[in-house]
Amino acid sequence: MKAALIGEKLGHSYSKWIHEISFEKQGIAASYDLLEISKEDLKNKGKSILSLYDGYNVTIPYKVEILSHIDVISEEAKRIGAVNTLVKKGKQWMGKNTDYFGFSKLLESIDINLKDKEAVVLGTGGASRAVITCLADKGCSSIYVVSRFPSSVDASMLSFLEQEKAVLCDYKKLSSLQAELLVNTTPVGMFPHNEKMPIESKIIDSFNVVIDIIYNPIETTLLLEAKKQGKKTANGLMMLIYQALKAEECWLGREIEEEKCKEIIVCIENQLQKIYSL
């Protein structure tokens, strides 16, 4: 099997490495490539690009744009309005969303109860849709979605926010919000711009838990600052790993046993510890 990740800039991505570890641990003869594709090429050559591999992941900024290049969309991806996994069904491509599953497993890993709690999500991209949907299903009483330019948010996103009963606001409003959870779904602070932070440090005090779905660096400036302030924090690595394993299940047509998942995760975490301790 040949699989690949489609994105615009992939220098930050751990996906190839994670999938290769997983394939090796499962004894699967498979390869995984990174395909950096411009917006123009995706628009004009999308169908021919999709003829090159047996399965795909999709990342920034194409999780919504890819919808126009596929034939079928799964029910969960239809609700979310974004796709991060493409599965071949005969001669057709089906779009699925495994980000929801990945984010749900991340929340489980930090043992957070969001029933009747408020949450704030930074960003209105494809990944934010899965996060917002998951938070709604976890029983959040209110979800505020923060955009730098609310007036520029497109109609499909506005419709999605209404569907999930989420409130769109700007960064000025953010300073007056208080909630259990803050989730950054923007790329601000991602490698190689590690020093950047999506909000001012004083705003962090309004939240008890801070999640940044960025995973490279492992601890963004946002998370480091939140830790200094005594907040519970989590990065996006667990989300990345679990969405990757769920994508493999979609491609292979079978479940990966929980014990095997744990073995793969331990292997990835051990290797990362070695890298970051150098």
**Active-site residue flag, 165:** no
Ranges assigned E (strand) in the chain: 2-7, 31-36, 55-58, 72-73, 85-89, 92-96, 118-122, 142-146, 166-169, 179-184, 207-212, 232-234
* Residues composing the chain: 278
Per DSSP bridges, beta strands 207-212 and 232-234 are: parallel
DSSP annotation of 68 reads: G
Considering the candidates 2, 63, 115, 228, report the single residue annotated as catalytic: 63
In 3D space, the residue among 64, 60, 90 whose CA is nearest the CA of residue 77 turns out to be: 64
Greatest CA span in the chain, whole angstroms?
Answer: 53
Residues 111 and 272: their CA atoms lie apart, in Å, by: 23
For residues 221 and 235, give the distance between their C-alpha atoms in angstroms, rounded to a whole number.
11
CB 133 within 8 A of CB 161: no
The burial of 128, by beta-carbon neighbours within 10 Å (0-12 exposed, 13-18 middle, 19 or more buried), is given as buried
DSSP state of 96: E
CA–CA distances in Å: residue 16 to residues 2, 6, 94, 274:
12, 11, 21, 18
Q: Catalytic site residues?
A: 63
